[in-house]
Structure 1
Amino acid sequence: MITVQNKICASIDKVWGFWTIPEHIKKWNIAIDDWYTQDVKNDLKVNGKFQYKMAKRDGSLSFDFEGIYTNIESLSLIEYKLDDDRTGQVRFEKIADEVKIAETFEPTKQDSVKMQEEWCQTVIDNFKKYVERI
């Protein structure tokens, strides 16, 4: 399993909303500058589907990151299963005037664990910058 995390100086409501609302997801869900999140569908409920369409800015490549939610505890926990059967979870914990967010997930077999960890840590870091800037 891989875990990436960060602490965000914002309310739990704001952190939860910015993590789950499609128009916000499109603004922070990026790890490399020449990629972007083209479209987001997010049905935040148990058995609800999520789909993030990722694309290179030059249009040469794209892929869908998708799965279903297996457990939702509002303002606290999101568990999911990806289309390739890997699982993951995102925990939200209020600590004083910050929110600790931690995502744990099963890595793919075809990419290095280090690369996946760095990629996802960059996404969480971008999320922090976005939430604290808005």
Structure 2
Amino acid sequence: MNKAISVTAVVKAPLQTAWEAYTQPQHITQWNHASDDWHCPSATNDLRVGGRFSSTMAAKDGSFSFEFEGVYTHVEPHHRPAYTFGDRRAEVVFEPVTPGKTKVTVTFDLEDTNPEEMQRAGWQAILENYKKHAESLAG
């Protein structure tokens, strides 16, 4: 079993907005990248147990791309989707903090290729991009 770590952001958006920004493909493509020289040109999301998701992660210069994809193992609407991707697992927990603020925590299994801090930094950067997008939707 792989070691799991978590990244967290408190989003200035109500739970419904935070959930939709994280789960709807038209929003996923706006934030699902770790740095400004990457983007997410396409995403699909079948948000149900057994449903599949996929996001294309691509360098903007066209030099490299890959699919981040997996299968949902648990879906509790507006609270917790969990999924597998390859031989790893992840879950996302949405918790209302105060009216208009939602804490989002992503817990994921580490992979063996890259150092833990690099993986943590990458997933945190993606979560920060998500936070900015969700907050822009909240007004």
> How far does the alpha carbon of each residue in 1:4-44 deviate from its partner, in whole angstroms, 9 at most, with x for none?
00101111110000100001000011111111101101100
Count of paired positions: 133
Partner residue of 2:66 out of 47, 50, 63: 63
For structure 1, list consecutive stretches of 5 or more residues without a partner in the other structure.
none
Q: 1:33 aligns with which of 24, 36, 47?
A: 36
SS, match of residue 30 in structure 1:
coil
What is the identity percentage for the equivalent residue pairs of Structure 1 and Structure 2?
37
Structure 2 CA distance for aligned equivalents of residues 3 and 103 of structure 1: 5
Give the distance between the partners of 1:95 and 1:56, measured in 2 at CA. 35
Q: Which residue of 93, 96, 100 corresponds with 1:94?
A: 96
Give the Å deviation of 1:129.
1.0
Asked if the contact 2:41–2:57 (Cα under 8 Å) also holds between the matched residues in 1, the reply is yes
Normalised TM-score (structure 2): 0.93
| Cα distance in structure 1, aligned partners of 2:53 and 2:115 | 25
Q: Which runs of 5+ in 2 are unaligned?
A: none
TM-score by length of 1: 0.96
Regions of 4+ moved over 4 Å: none
Per-residue CA deviations over 1:28-82 (Å, capped at 9, x if unaligned) read: 1111111110110110000000001111111111101001000000100010000
RMSD after superposition: 0.8
